Chain A
Amino acid sequence: MDDKHAEHARERSRYIRGFLFALALTLTAFGIGHLYGPQTPYVYLAIGVLGLLQLIVQLAYFLHIDRRRDSREDLDLILFSTMVLLIIILGTVWILGDLHMRMQMGMQM
């Protein structure tokens, strides 16, 4: 019974810590976005990094994805989907960005 109690406390504090981490990251991102404006050099980079950190925090604390053996299948699935996603997104941005640039060149000629 005591064992269960301790485990419950441990798991609950995990959710609460995750929430506080994520909240702190959100506040920082909105804070610097509001103070400096996202157009300022490096501010958007910082916001992007904070977003990435928050993704990792939520995956670890809320979705219980880590490098433990029994959640390995989930992690493999997520990593593979992320790879597919990166190919799709980077490929789209690259090709359409290139097309956009060439169209602009064409209009200037």
Chain B
Amino acid sequence: MSHSDHQTYPGINLGDIDPRHQQRVETAQFGFWVFIMSDLVYFGLMFAIYITMIDAQAGGPGPHELFDLRSLFAQTVLLLTSSMTVGLASLALKYHLGLGRVYLWLVATLLLGLGFLTLEIMDFMNMAAKGGVPQRSGFLSAFYGLVPLHGLHVATGCLWLVILMIQMRVIGVTDQIKSRLMRFGLFWHFLDLIWIGIFTIVYFGGLAYG
């Protein structure tokens, strides 16, 4: 128990490394938190614009014609599950359960992320087929400014994960790679937090007030 107290972050063994190295890793991790919070402010602005634009449908198709709750539910479950698998990957790394296990959870995360993106793009295509394109109304511009921004983050995360797995293979699991994986985990969990806001405010909020 005693040594879990000073391990703030999961996914890395800092127990037997010298304190200076640990300090550096924690500083990098905190710096990444700062990046995430500034990204959060950007998302917050897009949410604010969306809320003020819910009414501005200009006679175009609104939430009731465009949103598909079944697909939304599937996307939510996929992303939530991937948030757990990335956590399990970091635990497999932390407790030396073998690289096979680490890759297994990381590949699962990647597939779940790609599944999420596939469903999301299908949704956008269905919306566009019903006339729900960004230039149709202020409401739709705000929608397409926010939801695909999150999708772009997920796509970037998938690319990052692929690069990380290649690096693990080529460089090996060094302390630096472990610390990168830790930051990836943070980024990925953050994307799921944003998604809670999206399905609650954009989709259900749109249906309730649009």
Contacts and interface: CB of A to CB of B under 8 A. Distances in A.
B87 A92 contact: no
A100 B52 CA distance: 9
Given A8-B91, A62-B83, A89-B51, A39 B40 contact: no
A55 B73 CA distance: 17
A39 B200 CA distance: 13
A89 B48 contact: yes
B37 A51 contact: no
B41 A92 contact: no
A78 to B, nearest CB: 7
Determine chain A's interface SS by DSSP, over half rule: helix
B200 A62 contact: no
B88 interface: yes
B48 A18 contact: no
A68 to B, nearest CB: 8
Given A23-B80, A33-B204, A77-B34, A8 B95 contact: yes
Given A85-B40, A92-B49, 19 more contacts: A8-B91, A11-B91, A19-B84, A38-B204, A47-B200, A51-B196, A51-B199, A55-B197, A74-B8, A74-B33, A77-B30, A88-B45, A89-B44, A89-B47, A89-B48, A92-B51, A93-B48, A93-B52, A96-B52
Interface of A: 4, 7-8, 11-12, 15-16, 18-19, 22-23, 26, 29-30, 33-34, 37-39, 43-44, 47-48, 50-51, 54-55, 58-59, 62-64, 70-71, 73-74, 77-78, 81, 84-85, 88-89, 92-93, 96-97, 100
8 contacts: A8-B95, A19-B80, A51-B200, A62-B84, A64-B9, A81-B38, A85-B44, A89-B48
